Amino acid sequence: MEIATPGDDVAAVRAFNRFYVPLLGLFDEGLLRTPYSPTEGRIIFELAQSDRTEAADLRRDLGLDAGYLSRMLARFEADGLIVRSRSESDARRQVIRLTEAGRAAFRLVDERVGAKIRNLLDRVTAEERRQLLAAMDTIRRILGGAPRADAFVLRPLRPGDLGWVVHRHGVLYAEEYGWDETFEALVARVASDYVDNHDPERENAWIAEVDGQPVGCVFCAHKDDETAQLRLLLVEPSTRGMGVGSRLVEECLRFARGAGYRSITLWTNDVLAEARRIYQRAGFELLEEEKHHSFGHDLVGQNWARAL
pLDDT at 238 > cutoff 50 = yes
Region 234-243 average pLDDT = 90
Region 213-241 average pLDDT = 94
Backbone angles phi, psi at 151, to 5 degrees: -100, 140
Q: What is the pLDDT of residue 149?
A: 57
Dist. CA 166–CA 185, nearest whole Å: 8
Region 45-55 average pLDDT = 87
Task: Give the pLDDT band of residue 27 (cuts 50, 70, 90).
Answer: low
pLDDT digits (tens, 9 = 90+) for 133-151: 778 877 877 787 655 556 8
Dist. CA 278–CA 137, nearest whole Å: 29
CATH ID of 153-307, from 3.40.630.30, 1.20.1050.10, 3.40.50.410, 1.10.3720.10: 3.40.630.30
Helix (H) or strand (E) holding 216: strand 213-224
Q: Which residues contact 193 (CB under 8 A, 6 or more apart)?
A: 221
Lowest-confidence segment of 94-108, 178-192, 247-261 by average pLDDT: 94-108
Task: Give the pLDDT band of residue 39 (cuts 50, 70, 90).
Answer: confident
Region 231-240 average pLDDT = 92
pLDDT at 291 > cutoff 80 = yes
Query: Could you tell me the fold of the domain covering 6-123?
Result: Arc Repressor Mutant, subunit A (1.10.10)
pLDDT at 28 > cutoff 70 = no
Segment of 6-10, 22-26, 48-52, 289-293 carrying the highest mean pLDDT = 289-293
User: Taking the CB of residue 284, how many other CB atoms lie within 10 A of it?
Assistant: 22
Task: Give the pLDDT band of residue 33 (cuts 50, 70, 90).
Answer: low
Side-chain half-sphere CA neighbours of 18 within 13 A: 6
Percent of the chain with pLDDT over 70: 92
| Domain-wise residue ranges, the chain | 6-123, 153-307
Which of 308, 154, 142 lies closest to 243 in space, CA to CA?
A: 154
Task: Give the pLDDT band of residue 2 (cuts 50, 70, 90).
Answer: very low
Dist. CA 14–CA 8, nearest whole Å: 10
Task: Give the pLDDT band of residue 1 (cuts 50, 70, 90).
Answer: very low
Q: What pTM value is reported for the model?
A: 0.60
Strand order in the sheet with 82-86: 53-54, 94-98, 82-86
